[in-house]
Amino acid sequence: MSTLTEIAQELKDTKEKIIIVYAFNATGKTRLSVEYKNITKNPEDGKHAGVYYNAFSEDLFVWDNDEAHDNENIKLDIVSSSLNQFHSLLLDTEILEETLSLYHPRYKFNLNLYEDGDREKGIHSVTFYLDDENTDPIKISRGEERIFIWCFFVALFETDSWTGVQDAHFFIDDPVSSMDDHNIFLTAESITKLIDDTFPKKQIIVTTHHIGLFSILFDRLSKGEKSDKYKKNSKYFMLKKQKDELELKPFNKEVFLFHLHLLQVLSEAKNSNELYTFHFVLLRQLLENITSFIGTSQIKLLLQEIKVEKPEDTIMMINSLSHTRVFAPQISEMNEEQAKVFNEVFEKLVIRYNFKF
């Protein structure tokens, strides 16, 4: 067992360029990102070595509801920080719009400078409005706000404005804490794009409590179309907490009980009747875990074992929907036939192996 500082040091000593850490809520992920920031600072001048996205990042964005004027000039203020020196690059490019477009926002926005117009001071606030014909300032939802802040940081990183300053790593802590499943998979796509754009120049560290995000990143990096590029330079951990001590364990599917987490996620989606095509990605991962555990060499043989009616057609559908880029931008609900196949496989798995979750 280790202290938070020792865990941060373990991550620092990890040579791989891509590090993905799964941890339950209340394990200390945010504190770990802060500790990592502290131990990687330049010992001579105290400057940060990398860039961080965590709960403190969200705290830099505060609503000014303009109550005195009936919300006439409502806006999202940005608290001044060391990041302001990099803001001007967002004014000169369309990177933020492009990053945000992945989520299909239902609003537009303006980035506002300080009153004196000094670009060196950075962006003072953000004003949101519906469209070019409806320009009155509006307040976006909490979920939309979090997505905007996440995209703001991703866009800042993609400007490459940190070159020679804070460009050693990007530490991402739980970017999906208040997003629905649809946006979680879009966020996984934005992270993989960030990896694509910066590898191997910068190290990317992601910590998350969300099994869907962990699962899809693991799948893309270890078995996706570009996995040959990344898998030898990626490492996966589980952060476990017991009383006041922590343990950073290299990812192991059996120890992690990975399949039980997948079962829970898929069961919730099925029971709520909110099945999207990306759930086939998780279903395939579940089937792969079970085949590995029971020693069956192929998913098709497993489907025959659980008595799926048309195993050949079923495996074809699973593969076609899990190997394509189902994350974005064309995420869609399963059609009737897809839902029927998904439900049949899932239900027969649960019955055959008597899963309890």
What is the per-residue pLDDT across 82-103, written as a single tens digit (0 to 9) for each? 888 889 889 877 889 999 998 8
- The structure's pTM equals 0.74
d(CA 102, CA 204): 20
What is the DSSP-derived secondary structure letter of residue 119? G
Per DSSP, what are the bridge partners of residue 239? 23, 248
- The values of phi and psi at residue 95, to 5°, are -60, -40
Domains observed in the chain: 4-50+163-251 (3.40.50), 58-150 (no CATH), 257-353 (no CATH)
Residues constituting the chain: 357
What is the average pLDDT across 230-248?
A: 85
Q: Which amino acid would we find at residue 118?
A: D
pLDDT over 90 for what percent of the chain?
43
What is the per-residue pLDDT across 62-82, written as a single tens digit (0 to 9) for each? 999 999 999 899 999 999 988
pLDDT band at 162 (very low <50, low <70, confident <90, very high): low
Angle at 236 between CA 231 and CA 241, to 5 degrees: 180
pLDDT over 70 for what percent of the chain?
89
Q: How much is the pLDDT for 210?
A: 80
pLDDT at residue 325 greater than cutoff 60: no
List helix spans (H) across 199-294.
211-223, 227-230, 253-256, 258-271, 279-294
Q: How much is the pLDDT for 237?
A: 92
Higher pLDDT, 114 or 188: 114
Residue identified by tokens 């020792």 is: 6
Torsional class of 97: left (φ above 0), alpha (ψ -120 to 50), beta (otherwise): alpha
Q: How much is the pLDDT for 326?
A: 41
Q: How much is the pLDDT for 164?
A: 65
pLDDT at residue 330 greater than cutoff 70: no
